[in-house]
Every structure is written in structure tokens, then in C-alpha cells.
């Protein structure tokens, strides 16, 4: 299967994470069924860096594959892993029928700095993209095709049935060492074979739109899907800022802090996210990727509010 962002209606997709306890599976299965009703192009499943959620990620991806018509997209990280472990992991996912990936380096575990420990054989997401591409190519039938400069037909690996997404950072990566390192990193991921980029969350449409403009000027040609996270409580906003390193969105923060009821806060979060959805689509975004937090109500309300869907 392949992810097609070209056909109408507006392509939408969701991110979920493997449940932290056995008891959470039934509710998550319901959420997946509800998300599937709006025909997302894919549902992506996070992966704990260092393999902490590996088995549960694959179980959830297999559930999406077998119980819905939606393409499952597997996040994979390589930080802290040997080449052999990562290679075996890619093969395990492919064997399970998973053909779309989000290739990430992943963050070093807490307390480990960039240079004082073994951080893995693969040093960047671009190297992981290359490895996924090569493993997939090895397993796919070759086709005969002319290669410029090589006389006669050459055997070329088919690579047209796999999607490899990568992360992109509109406001830069918190650990970037110079101003445009995040755009250079995205170019390297594209050169390695990435077919799609999904952004880190952001709170202002211009963060995304200007990033796309700068990326295009630098030579990035793959689609860049905006990653949008509806934030519906002050505590969630604080935690999100802490984890992502994004600047605090002052207006949203004040609005959530002064609203006394959870219902009111929910409405503020939905309205903020749906306004972002409308603005990035008006600015030319090729689709919308929503961080669902394993809950369908909020993200489906955002899509309805933005006029992207009428059902769900």
C-alpha cells in the first residue's frame, strides 16, 4: 500500500501511542474504529526510543492493519541500538505486513548526553531512512530499467511500494547546533529516500508556512504535513512545551489558565486547533496530521469545526 496525498478530500492522518496498560486496549480499539470512520490516509503509532514499547507498537499496528482499512505507519527509532538490532526490527515489522515507516533517530534516554555514551550505530534519522530503504529493496523483486550512463538494461530495485516519513521541525530542533541545521537534516533525510515529512507540533500557522517556504527554497520537494496537537488543559500545554521545546503560545496559555471549567478549556483547545487547521490549509498544506492522544472526540471535533469533515 502507498500513502496518496494527492486525491481529495483533504488528506488527514492521526498519531496514536501504544497503551501503557493491558486495561487500556479495549478503549483504544474503540478510538481506532472511530478515527477510521473519517477515512484517514494513515494512522501512525509511536515507538519508545530504545525499544521500550516495541512489542506493543507492533501489536497496535497489526490491529490497525487487520481491523480497519487504514494504512498503519510505524514510527521507528535507532538511538541506543546496534545496526543488527535495528536491521532485525525493520524486518520484523515488514514481516508483519507493515510497509510504511516514520524514521526517527529518537532522543537519548534521560541523563545521557550526546557525547558521553554509546548512542547507537546509526547516528541520524537519515541513516535509518537509508537502512529501511535498503532492507525493503532487498526484499522486493528487481525490475529491468535503463540507467543513464550504463549500457544495456540494469537491474533496479523497486522502491515504489514503501513510504518512509521523517520528522521536521518548523521552529528548529532543540538540540540544533546552528540556525538551519533542521533544514539541512531534512534535506539529508530526503536524499536518503524519505517520501514524506511530518512536522513537530507548532502553535502559529506562520511557523509552519514560513518553514515550508524556507525548506522549498533549500531544495526540499517532498510533502510536508503539518502536525497539529489540540491542547485542552493548562497542564497538557505545560507538559507539551517541556517535551517539545516549543515557545509557549501566550494567548492560548492565558485563555486556558483563566477558563475555570474543563468543558470550556476543551472548547478553547478545539477552537485554537481548528483555526490552525484552516490557516495552514489556506496556506497550501497538503493535508493535516493530528496528534490524537489516544482520544477520538477532540481530534474529530477539530476536523468538524474546521470544516474538513462532516461526519465522525
Binding stretches for ligand FAD (CB under 6 A) = 46-47, 49, 75, 77, 102, 104-107, 114, 124-125, 167, 173, 175-177, 181-182, 185, 198, 200, 227
- Kindly state the helix (H) or strand (E) to which residue 228 belongs, with its residue range: strand 227-228
Query: Smallest gap, in angstroms, from Cβ of residue 306 to ligand FAD?
Result: 20
* Cell reading at 266: 476543551
- Kindly state the helix (H) or strand (E) to which residue 48 belongs, with its residue range: none
Closest CA to 13 of 233, 277, 231, 272: 277
Q: Are 302 and 269 in contact (CB under 8 A)?
A: no
* Cell reading at 160: 515504489
Query: Smallest gap, in angstroms, from Cβ of residue 113 to ligand FAD?
Result: 9
Closest CA to 74 of 55, 92, 98: 98
Between residues 56 and 75, which has the closer beta carbon with respect to ligand FAD? 75
Active site residue 15: yes
Contacts of 148 (CB under 8 A, 6+ apart): none
Query: Smallest gap, in angstroms, from Cβ of residue 168 to ligand FAD?
Result: 7
Between residues 123 and 138, which has the closer beta carbon with respect to ligand FAD? 123
Between residues 198 and 306, which has the closer beta carbon with respect to ligand FAD? 198
Query: Smallest gap, in angstroms, from Cβ of residue 51 to ligand FAD?
Result: 10
Q: Are 211 and 181 in contact (CB under 8 A)?
A: no
Phi, psi of 168 (to 5 degrees): -135, 150
Between residues 27 and 175, which has the closer beta carbon with respect to ligand FAD? 175
Query: Smallest gap, in angstroms, from Cβ of residue 176 to ligand FAD?
Result: 4
CA distance 278 to 228: 11
Between residues 179 and 250, which has the closer beta carbon with respect to ligand FAD? 179
Phi, psi of 282 (to 5 degrees): -60, -30
Query: Does residue 203 have a cis bond before it (omega within 30 degrees)?
Result: no
Query: Smallest gap, in angstroms, from Cβ of residue 46 to ligand FAD?
Result: 3
Between residues 89 and 268, which has the closer beta carbon with respect to ligand FAD? 89
Q: Using alpha carbons only, what angle is made at residue 132 by residues 129 and 136, rounded to the nearest 5 degrees?
A: 140
CA distance 71 to 162: 11
Q: Where in the sequence numbering do the catalytic residues fall?
A: 15
Amino acid at each position: 500500500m502507498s500513502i496518496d496525498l494527492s486525491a481529495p478530500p483533504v488528506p488527514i492522518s492521526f498519531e496514536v501511542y501504544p497503551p501503557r496498560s493491558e486495561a487500556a486496549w479495549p478503549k483504544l480499539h474503540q478510538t481506532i474504529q472511530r478515527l477510521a470512520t473519517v477515512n484517514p490516509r494513515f494512522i501512525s503509532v509511536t515507538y519508545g526510543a530504545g525499544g521500550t514499547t516495541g512489542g506493543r507498537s507492533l501489536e497496535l499496528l497489526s490491529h490497525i492493519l487487520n481491523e480497519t482499512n487504514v494504512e498503519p505507519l510505524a514510527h521507528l527509532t535507532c538511538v541506543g541500538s546496534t545496526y543488527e538490532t535495528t536491521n532485525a526490527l525493520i524486518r520484523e515489522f515488514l514481516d508483519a505486513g507493515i510497509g510504511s515507516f516514520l524514521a526517527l533517530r529518537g532522543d537519548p534516554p534521560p541523563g545521557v548526553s550526546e557525547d558521553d555514551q554509546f548512542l547507537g550505530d546509526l547516528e541520524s534519522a537519515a541513516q535509518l531512512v537509508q537502512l529501511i530503504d535498503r532492507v525493503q529493496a532487498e526484499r522486493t523483486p528487481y525490475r529491468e530499467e535503463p540507467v543513464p550512463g550504463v549500457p544495456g538494461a540494469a537491474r533496479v530495485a523497486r522502491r515504489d511500494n514503501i513510504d518512509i516519513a521523517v520528522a521536521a521541525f518548523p521552529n528548529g530542533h532543540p538540540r540544533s547546533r546552528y540556525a538551519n541545521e533542521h533544514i539541512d537534516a531534512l534535506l539529508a533525510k530526503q536524499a536518503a529516500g524519505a517520501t514524506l515529512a511530518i512536522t513537530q507540533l507548532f502553535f502559529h500557522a506562520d511557523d509552519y508556512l514560513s518553514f515550508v517556504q524556507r525548506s522549498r527554497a533549500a531544495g526540499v520537494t517532498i510533502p510536508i504535513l503539518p502536525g497539529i496537537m489540540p491542547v485542552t488543559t493548562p497542564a497538557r500545554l505545560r507538559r507539551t512545551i517541556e517535551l517539545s521545546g516549543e515557545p509557549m503560545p501566550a494567548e492560548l496559555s492565558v485563555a486556558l489558565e483563566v477558563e475555570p471549567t474543563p468543558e470550556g478549556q476543551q472548547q478553547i483547545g478545539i477552537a485554537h486547533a481548528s483555526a490552525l487547521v484552516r490557516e495552514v490549509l489556506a496556506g497550501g498544506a497538503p493535508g493535516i496530521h493530528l496528534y490524537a492522544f489516544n482520544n477520538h472526540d477532540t481530534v474529530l471535533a477539530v476536523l468538524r469545526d474546521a470544516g474538513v469533515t462532516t461526519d465522525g
